[in-house]
Structure 1
Amino acid sequence: MSDSLKHECGIAAVRLRKPLAYYYDRYGTTLWGFQKLFLLMEKQHNRGQDGVGIGCAKLDMPLGQPYIFRRRDSERDGLSNIFRKEMKTFNKMVRKGLIDPKRPDTIKTNYDFSGEVLIGHLRYGTSGEFDEGSCHPYLRRSNWPTRTLMVMGNFNMTNAAALNQVLVDRGQHPVFGTDTQTVLEEIGFHLDEAHTDLYRKLRDEGVDGREMPERISSDLDLARIVGESAQSWDGGYSICGVVGNGDMFVMRDPRGIRPCHMLVTEDVIAFASERVPLMTVFEADASQVKAVDPGCVVTIKADGSFTDTPFSPPQRFSPCSFEKIYFSRGNDPQIYRERKAMGAALVSQVVKAIDSTFDKAVFSFIPNTAETAYYGLMDGLRLYRRQEVRSSILEAQANGELTPELLDDLILRNWPRGEKIAHKDIKMRTFIAQEKGRDQLVSHVYDITYGVVRSDDALVALDDSIVRGTTLKKSILKILARTKPRKIVVCSTAPQIRYPDCYGIDMSELGKFIAFQATIALHRRAGRQSLLDRIYEECRSELQKPVGEMVNRVKGVYEAFTDDEVSAEISRMVSPEDIDCDVQVIFQTIENLRASVKGPCGDWYFTGDYPTAGGYAMVNSAYVNWYDGVGGRSYGLPF
């Protein structure tokens, strides 16, 4: 994705199923679980670089001994920082004789992250401050282990303001600014209620106080507690939580918007946002890794037993399609096939853009994450050309005109030519990321290959998606123009992004989308300001309705123009004034995207068809904010 776009977070969780001594005997280290947590997080490092956090809960700790631990870091290299510091602490304790690597009991007693329950979070923030205090996991402490709660997740709640108001109405004092605190306090409230009910019941039965913790821990119904907490949530989420007694849960939103996967072996129960990290880290087959069912919570009791419990009626499955297009790493076998299919689906549009002159076209990709789709595009172009050649050969043969010279001309002259044009300079990219507002340096993020594009060539570059168009205009097109082609064609494997997201992607401001800007420009050029005014009033009227009755009035913005008309205006808007070649931007069609993806495809940012009621409130609010000149996100609304 050429535009800088922050997005979904990543989660990882490891629940050991054996005593620590088992891992020392089998794998040579008591820290096997801790090492696996680090690897799961490292394999998902693409999902979050604003900060990281890890947590640990130890089972069956003696009274007076700490049992739950947390570390967080908001530095750019936070993942390495945390694990480097923890291993430094471990080695220091070994040198001082506080722990003996050959005695797992000494490690569990004295080293914080030698517990049976380990969780980790990689943060890409879409709300709150970008500091250590806003990194997950969040922790709610109590003298009762069964009331102590640690929570982390990959989520956005569209109705965070309303959820906070529920807390206020109860008499609580929530900390505003992040829906994570809201989720923690909501689950914590129901946990407290259940704990109090169990305590009073056992007390009235005459149970001795020293037996209370074990009895409460045994009877605590975590699935019910979490399910009750989630009844008022509107959003996309994968959430993991740990109670101080060692009970653990992982849940996924009823529509499956956010991803979550699970692996169960004789040694471990593990969770991750992506499937391949579980396969790689635990050397598992794809068939062993299962997606957590939407609307279900997986609970693992302190005794190791686990259940999978629905907490919501079945809903329309709407997994975020950006996982397929960009977010998840492309080495997942299914995602790899789907991204290639997305590239191949662009063939007819690309052929039209280059006027079928393959001998005067060069195909490449930018950025590196578009490489897999590029392979699909090249496969599709070659297949297209083979079919053309076959038809020409058969026709020449039928007319008695087939000659060796004609064969050479058909096969060799006009064949799709792929080249590596752009090379990313990682060090330069990091430097610029640390020094904001230096547009004059952005054009040096990539080096280019000189001498492979001729002056009469069209240069076709594949991109994952085009959101705001800013980087395209200020950087990418200027970089590609250094090769001096006659034309630049930029192909997006994603359709035009027309509507904001409210489920965890940093795409909340309608006015920043290049597709929206282009459509507004077309309206104003045609003298249709009155239409924009009317849509504004319609959006305001929608926001007066109960949230479940709202519809997306912003769709009216796009009804007057075809996709091609909007794409043509986008091409004009992103074309830099100081380059000497034509620019054309091509977008995937929604139909081809759906055909490329296996199973359901959540596409609300393209179609405006949101999977939850909160989405419709958010999109109408986003238009009102744009019209009124108000910046910032439009979700977290008071409904």
Structure 2
Amino acid sequence: MCGIIGVVATSPVNQLLYDGLMVLQHRGQDAAGIATAEGNTFHMHKGPGLVRDVFRTRNMRALPGNWGIGHCRYPTAGSAWNYAEAQPFYVNSPFGIMLAHNGNLTNAPMLKEQMFVQDRRHVNTNSDSEVLLNVLAHELAAAAPGIRLDAAAVFKAVEGVHRRVKGAYAVVAMIAGVGLVAFRDPYGIRPLVLGRNESEGGTEWMVASESVAMDTQGFEVVGDVAPGEAVFIDLERNLSRAPCSLQVTPAPCIFEYVYLARPDSVLDGISVYETRLNMGEKLAAKVRQTIDPAEIDVVIPIPDSSRPSAMQLAEALGIPYREGFVKNRYIGRTFIMPGQATRKKSVRQKLNTVAQEFKGKRVMLVDDSIVRGTTSREIVEMARAAGALKVYFASASPPVRFPNVYGIDMPTRGELIATGRTDAEIAQVIGADALVYQDLEAMKESVTQCNPAITRFDASCFDGIYVTGDIDAAYLDGVEQNRGKHDSKKTSEDDSNESQQVELTVVATASDL
């Protein structure tokens, strides 16, 4: 997952983009970048690290212009430690394009070869986002009737992208002197929300990965960019939108609702918070089938994303809900930290127990999911060390048994604790007295209750069914091999790229002709 944002406004957008990325920071902590446009000139600054660390006052001053895009990166393709893969990406032909992408292309290697052999385009990094940028650039060149672009040509180009590209992609892109385009893959795997603000100077537009980026900045949520749809906003802030794929099958990633998205976001008309309450209600029913509620003294969430589910589970079972862990908010999300050693080290730095909530009690811990099991095992150990008599563990989602290839870093089957193990065996590995998993259909119902129009999801990490239909064992083997190569580079690249940042100012003159 990554966080993306695009704004077309009546005044400078650098602060809007920065503030938007700050509230999307949970979607990626590896790198951040902002690109703005002033006339036909692009300005960009990007680098590794958190948004607050990448951008200083001098960087913000160097980002003038009333429209722009931003990105916070969570690495899923290429190398997690290669600063050159920070976004946005830029290509000068045709017209001049800046692009930011959330998701993961499943046919990127084939497209990269096509770019070179057929389109005579060079892709400079291992990033699938740069491949996507070059595909869009080629399709824009083919769709343009001359040296000018209009909405119809932009939509035709996006149609071409949909025909060639497979996988998950939510995109915001700037075309120099033309406007901003945002689009989403035909399955709508990754989210993209559209918002509007009526200012003194006129209507302003924002597109972002989550609605929270609009809520916090006074923009009204208009709705979602639909699967297969493209939205185009010209420099006079006129908005056009059109379906650009004939084969649309909405199937948003269900893990967005389980863990990835902020609880105060609404994606595809579905409240993330409400879905997590529903998951807690259904998980309580599953707990009753496995453990006598009278054997549980207290329900404690593992902060933060499991809180709504834990609260609802406790209420449904009639068991006290307590906060037993205090979180250090200056430590990043362990799930998206590159490198298993870093994750293991960070768990005890991130969480500390409130001892009186554990001592002498039979505790049920509730988490949103169990992926590798590293964090779960550490937390169970912490609960016992704090004096818990028994430690039960409940997951608001089913066992994660398969890798996700659409933008979540779960590529190696051997890393997933549920692969090849029964629930009882998993409980033994993490040290719990008993383990309860949510049922897959119950989890899906928890989301569908909030929007009955959404009936299909990408739940591939739970059921192994990949909605794009192009994933087989050979593909997964290749992903795992590439991951091993990238992990072996970690130490040297992490050291050499720690302070690297990129600034760019470029004049795109094609639209002046």
Q: What TM-score comes out, normalization by structure 2 length?
A: 0.84
Letter in 2 for 1:515: A
Query: Is residue 138 from structure 1 mapped to residue 89 from structure 2 by the alignment?
Result: yes
Q: In 2, Cα distance between the equivalents of 1:584 and 1:611? A: 33
Deviations 1:90-148 (A, max 9, x none): 4xxxxxxxxxxxxxxxxxxxxx5332211110100112232331111101125xxx621
Query: Is residue 592 from structure 1 mapped to residue 497 from structure 2 by the alignment?
Result: no
Letter in 2 for 1:335: V
Question: Residue 237 and residue 440 in structure 1: after superposition, are their counterparts in 2 closer, same or farther (change >3 A)?
Answer: closer
Deviations 1:236-282 (A, max 9, x none): 11011111113220000101101000013443011110012212212
Question: Which of residues 414, 427, 450 is equivalent to 1:511?
Answer: 414
Question: Which of residues 30, 54, 57 is equivalent to 1:84?
Answer: 57
Mark the runs of 5 or more structure 1 residues left unpaired by the alignment: 1-7, 21-30, 62-66, 91-111, 200-215, 383-415, 519-565, 576-581, 634-639
Question: Residue 219 and residue 476 in structure 1: after superposition, are their counterparts in 2 closer, same or farther (change >3 A)?
Answer: closer
Kindly report which structure 2 residues correspond to 1:9-24, keeping only aligned pairs within 5 A, or say none.
9-16=2-9, 18=10, 20=11
User: How many matched pairs?
Assistant: 468
| Partner residue, 1:113 | 63
Q: In 1, Cα distance between the equivalents of 2:156 and 2:326? A: 52
Query: Is residue 52 from structure 1 mapped to residue 25 from structure 2 by the alignment?
Result: no
| Partner residue, 2:273 | 336
Q: In 1, Cα distance between the equivalents of 2:195 and 2:483? A: 45
Look up the SS of the partner of 2:293 in the other structure: coil
Q: In 2, Cα distance between the equivalents of 1:119 and 1:425? A: 30
Q: Does structure 2 conserve the Cα–Cα contact (< 8 Å) formed by 1:164 and 1:176?
A: no
Question: Residue 34 and residue 587 in structure 1: after superposition, are their counterparts in 2 closer, same or farther (change >3 A)?
Answer: same
| Partner residue, 2:229 | 296
Question: Residue 85 and residue 443 in structure 1: after superposition, are their counterparts in 2 closer, same or farther (change >3 A)?
Answer: same
Question: Residue 217 and residue 592 in structure 1: after superposition, are their counterparts in 2 closer, same or farther (change >3 A)?
Answer: closer
Q: In 1, Cα distance between the equivalents of 2:341 and 2:169? A: 33
| Partner residue, 1:149 | 97
Q: In 1, Cα distance between the equivalents of 2:357 and 2:467? A: 46
Deviations 1:285-334 (A, max 9, x none): xxx43000100111122343321111111432110111111111112361
Letter in 1 for 2:249: R
Question: What is the Cα deviation at residue 495 of structure 1?
Answer: 0.6
Mark the runs of 5 or more structure 2 residues left unpaired by the alignment: 449-453, 487-513
Kindly report which structure 2 residues correspond to 1:122-521, keeping only aligned pairs within 5 A, or say none.
122-129=72-79, 130-141=81-92, 147-170=95-118, 171-195=120-144, 198-199=146-147, 216-217=148-149, 221-266=153-198, 267-284=203-220, 288-332=221-265, 334-357=271-294, 360-382=296-318, 416-426=319-329, 437=341, 442-443=347-348, 445-455=350-360, 457-473=361-377, 475-518=378-421
Question: What is the Cα deviation at residue 176 of structure 1?
Answer: 4.9
Question: Residue 606 and residue 435 in structure 1: after superposition, are their counterparts in 2 closer, same or farther (change >3 A)?
Answer: closer
Look up the SS of the partner of 1:346 in the other structure: helix
Letter in 1 for 2:103: F
Structure whose alpha-carbon radius of gyration is higher: 1
Question: Residue 355 and residue 292 in structure 1: after superposition, are their counterparts in 2 closer, same or farther (change >3 A)?
Answer: same
Query: Is residue 40 from structure 1 mapped to residue 20 from structure 2 by the alignment?
Result: yes
Give the helix-richer structure, 1 or 2.
1
Question: Residue 83 and residue 178 in structure 1: after superposition, are their counterparts in 2 closer, same or farther (change >3 A)?
Answer: same
Question: Residue 177 and residue 198 in structure 1: after superposition, are their counterparts in 2 closer, same or farther (change >3 A)?
Answer: same
Look up the SS of the partner of 2:249 in the other structure: coil
Q: Does structure 2 conserve the Cα–Cα contact (< 8 Å) formed by 1:279 and 1:289?
A: no
Q: In 2, Cα distance between the equivalents of 1:276 and 1:13? A: 14
Question: What is the Cα deviation at residue 365 of structure 1?
Answer: 0.9
Q: Does structure 1 conserve the Cα–Cα contact (< 8 Å) formed by 2:196 and 2:219?
A: no
Letter in 2 for 1:289: V
Look up the SS of the partner of 2:355 in the other structure: coil
Give the strand-richer structure, 1 or 2.
2
Deviations 1:354-391 (A, max 9, x none): 42315x52210113221121121122223xxxxxxxxx
Question: What is the Cα deviation at residue 428 of structure 1?
Answer: 6.8
Q: In 1, Cα distance between the equivalents of 2:356 and 2:289? A: 25
* Segment drifting more, 308-317 vs 339-348: 308-317
Deviations 1:168-215 (A, max 9, x none): 2223333351111211111222233445x515xxxxxxxxxxxxxxxx
Q: Does structure 2 conserve the Cα–Cα contact (< 8 Å) formed by 1:15 and 1:270?
A: yes
Look up the SS of the partner of 1:147 in the other structure: coil
Percent identity between matched residues is 25
Deviations 1:407-432 (A, max 9, x none): xxxxxxxxx1222211123457799x
